[in-house]
Amino acid sequence: MPSVPSVPSVPLVPSVPSVPGRFDVSVEHLRSTVSTKWNKFGPDVLGAWIADMDFQVAPPIAEVMQRYVSSGFYGYGVATLKDEMIAAFVDWWSGHGLSADPGRVLLVSELVQAMHACVAAFSSPGDGILVLTPVYPPFFGAVRDQGRTLVEHRLHRQSDSGRYEFDAHALREQVRSARPRVALLCHPHNPVGRVWSSAELQVIADLADELDMLVVSDEIHADLVFAPHRFRSFASLGPTTSNRTVTITSPSKAFNNAGLRCALMHFGSTALLERFTDQIRGDLLGVPSVPGMLTSIAAWCHGREWLGHCVEQLRENRDVVASRLLDAPNGISGPLNEATYLQWLDFSALPGVRVALDADPTICVSDLLRERVGIACNNGPDFGDDLRHFARVNFATSATVLNEICNRIERFAAMHTA
């Protein structure tokens, strides 16, 4: 690692005390919790990595948790909780165009587990699995750790807008030749912030149909979409598509209860569900926690108003990032997010970054950001090979912290212009 100047110690202006449902939680409070985002690195480092929001949960979630804690009962929950959870999912997801069948839902504790289980159930060692990259790192684990073959389609970036797309013709050619058994779709896509359009989804659906490919659609970010973009569940394209789709999702990204571990899988047909349960015994998967279900039910039954405010706040934050980091002549570029609070940034135009990374092939730009200006963000190479000049920054934070994140990244850019 090249020698680095020490992290500048700029005091954060204390924000107002946190109020449930508000979006201005102080760093002092965050560091006093068990948050890994805020406690993994030293006190001078701002947490802008793992996908939690620095916001208080919606009041209905806080209330149900308070009641749960004060009840003093932490044993097994009644069976009706599962029914309520599934009913809440069916109702909420009808808003995303999905006609979900309550009889074809499996409750699990997390999406990554569900994705691994789908790969295990619907493919064999050596089979190809299609993934559009750069992508959320556990997608690679689900393929490689189970001895499957990665069929990687690299998204390309529009030079003017920074928007990531796939070339339908190239994708068709690649998939027809590699014939993957399963596609792992990330919709909306982390980290490039795309909400796939119906036309784009249809390209994948047609390929799936043509090649008898199963699609696992990870829709965990579905509720974090910025107008005028609209989210449509992949399985809603029609019965042929639905029959070969497993939708996996959770309220945990939109409602910030990821630590409580609650997710679900929806199978587009009974045959698909049976194929899955023939391969993966229910006891291997486990079930969500009681507080996970309680808070997820509260989110989907009573959280809509709060979510509206949350997405408004995220949209403001996205625009701050765009105007301060993407639109400024600072050598940094990236897409304008259509969804998610995870911003993909490209630092490859900064000469000083290129020099530093050329001098040490073991590091990436996120190491420099952490060492030189005290920002912890996610490493580009975790999202795909050859991405050392990229980093993912989480902008779901207070105005105070976001301002300081932008200050530090601007300073980083200025330090590396030569």
Ligand X SMILES: Cc1ncc(COP(=O)(O)O)c(C=O)c1O
Q: By CB under 6 A, is residue 186 in contact with ligand X?
A: yes
Residue closer to ligand X (CB basis): 252 or 337: 252
Interface stretch with ligand X, choices 12-20, 63-71, 85-93, 109-117 (CB under 6 A): 109-117
The Cα 84–Cα 264 span in angstroms is 13
The least distance separating ligand X from the CB of residue 239, rounded to whole angstroms, comes to: 26
Q: What are phi and psi of 165, to 5 degrees?
A: -145, 165
Q: By CB under 6 A, is residue 250 in contact with ligand X?
A: yes
Q: By CB under 6 A, is residue 132 in contact with ligand X?
A: no
The least distance separating ligand X from the CB of residue 392, rounded to whole angstroms, comes to: 10
State which of residues 57, 207, 263, 369 lies at the interface with ligand X (CB under 6 A).
Answer: 263
Residue closer to ligand X (CB basis): 367 or 382: 382
Q: By CB under 6 A, is residue 220 in contact with ligand X?
A: yes
Interface stretch with ligand X, choices 8-16, 105-113, 173-181, 297-305 (CB under 6 A): 105-113
Residue closer to ligand X (CB basis): 193 or 303: 193
Q: By CB under 6 A, is residue 346 in contact with ligand X?
A: no
CB–CB of 131/139 below 8 Å? yes
Q: By CB under 6 A, is residue 357 in contact with ligand X?
A: no
- How far is CA 249 from each of CA 120, 161, 267, 377, rounded to the nearest angstrom? 18, 29, 12, 24
Q: By CB under 6 A, is residue 218 in contact with ligand X?
A: yes
The least distance separating ligand X from the CB of residue 372, rounded to whole angstroms, comes to: 26
Distance of CA 200 to the CA centre of its chain: 19
Cis omega (within 30 of 0) for bond into 60: no
The Cα 80–Cα 351 span in angstroms is 59
State which of residues 30, 111, 185, 225 lies at the interface with ligand X (CB under 6 A).
Answer: 111
Question: 318: closest CA among 379, 199, 380, 229?
Answer: 229
State which of residues 25, 61, 100, 112 lies at the interface with ligand X (CB under 6 A).
Answer: 112
Q: In what order do the strands lie in the sheet with 182-186?
A: 105-108, 263-267, 245-249, 214-218, 182-186, 128-133, 149-154
Q: What single DSSP character describes residue 77?
A: P
What are the residues whose beta carbons fall under 8 Å from the beta carbon of 55, sequence distance 6 or more?
22, 23, 25, 256, 310, 313, 396
Footprint of ligand X on this chain (CB under 6 A)?
51, 110-112, 136, 186, 190, 218, 220, 250, 252, 258, 263
